[in-house]
Amino acid sequence: MYTSKHTTNLLFVLLLSLAGICQSQEITKTSQPNNIKNMPIIKYLWYGFDILDIRPGIEGKISVELNTLVQSKYIWHGLDLLDDHGIVFTMATIKLADTGLSGTIIGAYPLSSGLVRSTELDFAVFYSGAFWKDTPWVTNFTTNYFYYGKPKVSRARSDTQEIGTGFSWPKLLGNSGLSPNYYFGRLWPTRSQSNLEGCEGFIHIFGLNYDFAIPDFWSAGKSQTFKLSGDITYNDGFGGVEHDWSHAVFGISTCLENKHISITPYVNHQISMDDSVNNENEIWCGVNCTYRF
């Protein structure tokens, strides 16, 4: 079982190691604008603290995002993990200049009493890039590794790990605002004698996003951009689900932001097609607050 001291030590070691990787990189000041096209479909959101005073000069080599999200239900790949109870996610994300590498620490805390054993302390590493950049077939990709930890369950018997890669094609359908995407992932239990035996499997998610703006949404000449998203999942044993088309999710979100702070409200609706993933359809909503520096 983790203690607060152990958690602090783990966080410090991860952040310090990421800072060490940054040392060999050239200092750059380039950044991507924060707009709706760069906003991911929300699955996990995070919170952290300022680490820029670890070493002089590091400000030009890394960027940090701190996130807090409150969500009405904890829906994960179709599964209702807390049986209709709400959850708050906190996360700290460190991005290493223009390398495409980033690291994340995630805390997940149920909002209802009696669910302490469902508390999570997760770790993730991402690598993002693109190829065929100057063609209509430009392909953006992100490869990820997740460690899902349950610190209130002894000997890591409820811990799992996931590795996967997601692809998106923002120009494939021209200037229509439509962007197809695809994710492939694999999940397995961390321990051989796990409480989650039988959860090992693969998952395929086929999605389509649509970005559109409503002119004069706030006042004359001031529009607001929204993102519509939809995906359908073929589950091949991932999380103990039957091998079948398991569920489809549709959502809408928007982003309100200034230079450093953004607020992203969203609503999602799930159509469950297989009882092994969920025996009912789901509607959930949330709001994410992000601070960047």
| 128 class by beta-carbon count within 10 Å (0-12 exposed, 13-18 middle, 19+ buried) | middle
Return the bridge partners of 207, or none.
Answer: 181, 231
φ and ψ of 4, to 5 deg: -60, -35
pLDDT recorded at residue 283: 97
- Kindly indicate the confidence band of residue 153, based on its pLDDT and cuts at 50, 70 and 90: very high
Host domain of residue 185: 4-26+41-292
Is residue 198 in some structural domain? yes
Distance from C-alpha of 246 to C-alpha of 253, rounded to nearest angstrom:
23
Tens digits of per-residue pLDDT, 217-242? 887 778 999 999 999 999 999 999 99
Res 160 pLDDT > 50: yes
For residue 190, being part of any structural domain is answered with yes
Instruction: Return the pLDDT at 60.
Output: 58
Q: Give pLDDT tens digits for 111-141.
A: 998 899 999 999 999 999 999 998 999 999 9
CATH at residue 282: 2.40.160.40
Q: How many domains does the chain have?
A: 1
pLDDT tens digits, one per residue of 85-114? 999 999 999 998 788 999 999 999 999 988
Task: Rank 89-98, 184-193, 256-265, 280-289 by mean pLDDT and report only the highest.
Answer: 280-289
What is the average per-residue pLDDT within 150-157?
92
Mean pLDDT of 58-64: 70
- HSE of 104 in the Cβ direction (CA atoms, 13 Å)? 24
Asked whether residue 207 is assigned to any structural domain, the reply reads yes
Is the pLDDT at 1 greater than 60? The verdict is no
Q: Would residue 35 count as lying in a domain?
A: no
The answer to whether residue 210 scores a pLDDT higher than 90 is: yes
Q: Which residues pair with 186 in a beta bridge?
A: 163, 202
Q: What is the pLDDT of residue 30?
A: 38
Mean pLDDT across 140-166: 95
Label each residue of 221-268 as H, E or C. Answer: CEEEEEEEEEEEEEEEEHHHCCCEEEEEEEEEEECEECCCEEEEEEEE
User: Considering the chain, what percentage of its residues have pLDDT values greater than 90?
Assistant: 66
Residue 256 in any domain: the answer is: yes
Q: 93 or 16, which is more confident?
A: 93
pLDDT at 22 over 50: no
> Does 36 reside within a domain?
no
Q: What is the DSSP string of 42-108?
A: PS--------TTSSTTGGGTEEEEEEEEEESS-EETTEETTTT--EEEEEEEEEETTSSEEEEEEEE
Quote the pLDDT of residue 219.
Answer: 79
- What is the pLDDT at residue 195? 85
One-letter amino acid at 227 equals K
